[in-house]
Amino acid sequence: MSLQSHLAELQKKHQALEEQINDCLVHPATDDLTLVELKRKKLQLKDEIERLRHNESASVH
């Protein structure tokens, strides 16, 4: 898998988690722990995306 396709896949997962979090916020019956876990996963994906982008730009120079 190329770096670009890997980044695109991570971005899709990040967006899906964003939508899932928004759905949870609309439904007040959602467990707080579930919401925290979703946000944690989303942040991990964001960090991974940023790390890969940084490595990609560093390798170009």
Residue-wise pLDDT for 2-53, tens only, equals: 889 999 999 999 999 999 999 999 988 888 999 999 999 999 999 999 999 9
- How does residue 61 score in pLDDT terms, banded at 50, 70 and 90? low
Buried-state track 26-40, b at ≥16 Cβ within 10 A, e below 16: eeeeeeeeeeeebee
Task: Identify the pLDDT of residue 55.
Answer: 87
Global pTM?
A: 0.84
Asked if 45 contacts 9 with a C-beta cutoff of 8 angstroms, the reply is no
